[in-house]
Structure 1
Amino acid sequence: LVVNPGWPCADSSEALYQVWQPLEPAIVVDGFTCEDDVEVFDFAVEGNIDGNASMLWDFGTGTPNLADLPSPGGISFGNANTWDVTVSVNNHGCTSDASFTWTAPPEPQASVENQYQFCTGLTFDFNNLSTDADAFYWDFGDGQGGTPSGTSTDPNPTYTFPDTGIYEISLTAAADFTCPDVATAQVEIQFLLEPDFATPDPNCFDDHFFTFSGTASSDENTMYEWDFGGATAYSNVEEAEVLGLMYAEPGTYDVTLTASVPGLTGCIQSFTAEVTAIEEPTVDFAAGPWTGCPPHAVSFDNLSTTETATTYTWHFGDGTSSSAVSTSHTYASPGSYPVTLEMETGGFCQRTLELQSAQNVEILPIPVAAIDVTPNQVDILNPLVWVEYLGDQNVDCYYSFGDGGGLEGCQGQYIYSDGGTFTITQTVVNEFGCANTAEGQVSVSGSVFYAPTAFTPDGDGLNDVWLPVVRGVSEYALRITNRWGQLVFETTDPDEPWLGQMGSEGQHYVPNGMYLYRATYTDQIGYPRMAEGHLHVAR
């Protein structure tokens, strides 16, 4: 400070000031222990203070309830769930207060699941049911003799004990800022009880004789009980051994071996496996129709029963066979044929069976067909033929003459209406209804062309069309012209008549008068012919 600056009588003075930031103390829990199930806390203050600070603590309901130390410890609140702490801080003349409210976390509850494994051997799986804990310590009570070394920090450990016996197990469950909890349990460690037996292969019912050799435990006190799952015809049991077993009926059965150790809690186990006494295969079939005319098809339905892989062979009695399960066969020749079905089963039930039909397949005789055609070449002007059955059997005869006509009876005559070469089919049927056929041929040669000389197309229903009679032709063409050579009508169809029209459209009709026609055609032997003349139209 300068007084009267610039004057001869000026004076000055100095002073030192220390300036500090405002205090911002905060209470923290600096340590925790559990002493005789009592929670004990240590405290400290954090913030912008240094080692020159003085403090006054008030712990409220705690013991002790006051302290003037920078970091007081060993404060107990009687395991209360909530409590408050305050501190007054003086640092370089600056003062400030801080407060702290505690809410206790949930206390851990240690719990071990009751023993649920019995007679499972020296190795045991523990199930931890503790709550509100995050750290665990197991003591297996075996004097450190097991595997691992008698203790574990795993939540759910698996432990192998050194021997059978009853062991006192303890589990300590812990969490931060709480006292740990301890639970104890007893476990009874027994030899492994694990019943088992080898399953015999399936077998045919008539041959089956099952044996079993059971195992379960090294404990000599183990008892065995067998359940064969169905009615038996014979059984011979000696504790863990089944020296012989036969079922009353074929089928698949559940065989159960139950092992138990008397006096050991919960020490009972079962093992189940299937055995099969295979039903004996049977061979059978149905067939039909058993009787018929050749070619005759017979269906064969396989009714055999089997439970294993099976092959079949059909013998039809005519030298042929089939390996189908069900099949059909066509017999071509008359005769009596025995049918046999062979079946061969495989797998665990091997059998060879054979069945011959109780009746034979009867293929009826067919009649002899023999035809005589007389003559086998005729002219169109006399197209009559005679047919006759040449056989000596008692048959019914039917003839088809190839032009749409027919005849019933074993002999008779037939008149053709057109030329050409025709196949005559004779069908004969015997007393069994079996049929046979024979064929003959006839040639109708020559040709016929006849043309009327006049017609009257006046619509009175009499002589209204002009149509030549044409027979025995293979190609045909007709042209009609007037006297001046003008074409008035033409056709290639021998069955198409001229109606007196002009042209093919028929919109106009020709006048009365004389007209010329020319027909060209080819007969059945390929020889070209021509016919021409005149006709009159008169209305």
Structure 2
Amino acid sequence: MTVTEKNNDLLIGNLFSAISSYGKAKFGIHLFLIFNCIIIASNCFSQSRDFFVRHGNNIASVTCGEMIFAPLTTAENRTTKGAGAVWIKKPIDLRQPFDISFVTEFNSLIGTDGGAFVLTADSASVGNSNDGLGFEGINKSVAVTFDPVINSEDNDPSFVHIAIQANGDVNHSSINNLAGPVSFESLYQNISGVRRFSHIIKISWDPVARSLTAYIEGVKYVSAQYDLIQKIFDGNPNVYFGFTASNTQLQYFPPRAEIEFGYIRFSFGTVVPKYSASPEPDTCFGKPITFSDNSTYFSENIYSNTDQFKWYWDFGDGTKFNGKDPPPHYYPGPGSYKFQYTVTNQIGCTSDTFHRLITLGSPPVADFSNTPACSNSVTSFLDMSTSMVGAPVVWEWDFDNNGMKGNKMNDNTVYSRSGTRAVSVKIRTEYGCEATITKTITVAERPSVNFSYQKDCEGNVQFTSLVQNNLPIDAWHWDFNDHTGSFDKDPSHFFFRNGIYQTALFAVSDKGCVSDTITKPILINKIYPFAGNDTIIAVGQPFQLHALGGGTYSWSPSEGLSNVAIADPVVKLDHDQAYYLTITNSAGCIASDTIRIKVYDSVAVYVPNAFTPNHDGLNDVLHAIAPGYTVNYFAVYDRHGKLVFQTHDANAGWDGNFNGTPQYEGAYVWLVKATNYRGYSVVKKGSVILVR
């Protein structure tokens, strides 16, 4: 049960509880009009405040389903004089016909003045009490009056009666008495000693015949042919209608006396609306929708059907229906439609209107694509279905793969063997529309690849690919692990640096299938031989060589060398000599280098007496030359004694600049501190000329 249904059930229970209590009420005129409330009770009551205009001092309550005029008695003597009027805010047009039906109920207990159905030009008006029915004194009006009290001053007949009276005049001898009075005495029932009237009343207006007629249980009781628009309402066809009542109790009673007051009730009935639709919206377009009124109607066992109510169906596509159960409705196409449904009583009172956006989905077009289908690898299926109204929300994949299924929008499977497969997907949209598509795909074999290579001693490698299962290959993908690669079938590549390079290869077949990736380490071990920098020594000075490059070493010639097969042999010479170094690595690669040794006759320190730092490549730098010595310190001073250059690096020299500024031509003084190979230190000074 929904919240609305629970509230509707509460409304039903509360309604009959109220009716029962009012039937036993001990107060005066009780005018009860049950209108057509279509949803929950709280909305029904709130609607009445917007639908009605109220005036007077005896209105107990007004809702969409009822009006109650109750006597307000004094505490001292239990007397009362009360009158009230309730008008429907929206006027009616007397140029149009109308039929308004209701149930009138009253009894013969104390204070029952009577009431009236009234048409008036003034919705702010209210009539008199003192048996005035709440109508007496309302000018420009016409009423069907129900009078259960005989008043001689109004020239009432000697029976309870119904009449048509005008301009607030309740005197039956007046010219404003348009029809009646007519007795309805025979319609009373005697219940526990109290006379009670309870019957269906219908008020009809025929603007062509200018006839206002009142029926009781379908029998015409009073009718007046009268030009209401011109003679009463001064040519204005738009008037208000409503109900008035009065209650008068002038006899004094003790304060604690138990007095049971009479009542009068006008009832339209109450409805608790419900409707159903089959199929339930929202749904898929293509089938008719059958809407059914499932409302619950209450009329206190007076009505035998729902003739007192009106239904308004608006299907949102320009089609409307005003009956209880519309025929099956065919919408023109997929889309959204603003559906509205309401039930009113005959005066148009309703608590609310059901609003719903009905969306009819369009039949989808099922489709899908897939990545290349290859054995023993993931094949992905991508939903490509389309729908104008309503997105797919359910997918049922059948991969034709040993019963494997899927239920994702984009799903996948792994086929263990090549061959053809019938793959299908069934989709269902959020509105229940379904479509299925089946496609035949071919599962292809994956290529199996390998490679070999040949390399030289300089870092050049020639690769050769191999397809082991002889499949056509569309693309090759090489990664040489040095941030480069190739798409050639058999590429060649030059590695700049030594190292181990994990070279990888995979291939893509003409069916789009990707092989496993084959990786092999490629060792690059190029030789970089270094015999040492050319140097000078003194005659008989032992000097140790320091070769680099790895592998095995071989020096030639062997003259003056302590060992020709090591990296660091010791040499002693008495003449200039060049030595040739040959290095062989583990891969059998061979490389060579040369070192030249100049031999001086004695151990001494030499500094040129002039140099020319003019950047011509000849004598641009001043060096200290010290065969048999190791230069520990070399400094140059200008003629003013300012230090312009110094170094502890035996290989460094002065370029004729001081702090980046070229120095002037002229004489400079140099100082050298050195240690010979025997460990003796010397300090030498001299001069040099800078020539530019």
**TM-score (normalizing by structure 1):** 0.41
Q: TM-score, normalised by structure 2?
A: 0.34
Give the strand-richer structure, 1 or 2: 1
Higher Cα radius of gyration: 1
Point out the structure with the larger helix share: 2
